Chain A
């Protein structure tokens, strides 16, 4: 059974700092991995989706990498801003048809002005 963990559970950084969020998964036979952002009281917003054949994906100040063999993904946020404050979740989908995304518990990020 796939298990997804995220470390740290919470992170507080000053504005402007570059930061890395981590996601680990136990079964490397994945189809793809998604990073989401969740603001308080809101739904999840997809940030980046990485296919199992890809090593990384970029969108603006966000860069997500994937290392299937080690069961890890990182989300890199450059030049953090207070508006980046949110909870970031990763989700992994297995290769078998019918398997759905398994979500990590999330990292709560606070960017201080």
Chain B
């Protein structure tokens, strides 16, 4: 398996623009997680899905953030409109069942100017 695949790896955009980050989890994994990593706050859970259904989005910072998982092999995290404080590395991770080993993607480094 190729592992968790994220795109784009790097995104530079201007404040106010829409940003869409994409994730393909490992085949057969039924949990998908979106994390954000910054120097100040470390690794934070934004939202997670089980069998394509959002279970807990309490970590999503505000309404500008939204996430979808239309099928078992694809998820998106959207920020609209983006702000400079959204600059961070966004990770997608998947696991087979909750509490099992987590597999992370390489991350999407977002810079909002």
Contact = CB atoms under 8 A, between A and B. Distances in A.
- Is chain B a partner of chain A in the same complex? yes
Interface of A: 31-32, 34, 36, 41-46, 49, 89, 91, 93, 97-98, 100-101, 103-106
B113 interface: no
B42 A93 contact: no
Interface in B22-47: 33, 42-43, 45
A42 B106 contact: yes
Given A100-B33, A100-B48, A44 B102 contact: yes
B102 A106 contact: no
A104 to B, nearest CB: 8
A73 to B, nearest CB: 16
B75 to A, nearest CB: 15
Interface string B76-113: 00000000000000010100001111111111010000
Nearest to B50: A98
A100 B43 contact: no
B8 to A, nearest CB: 14
A49 B43 contact: no
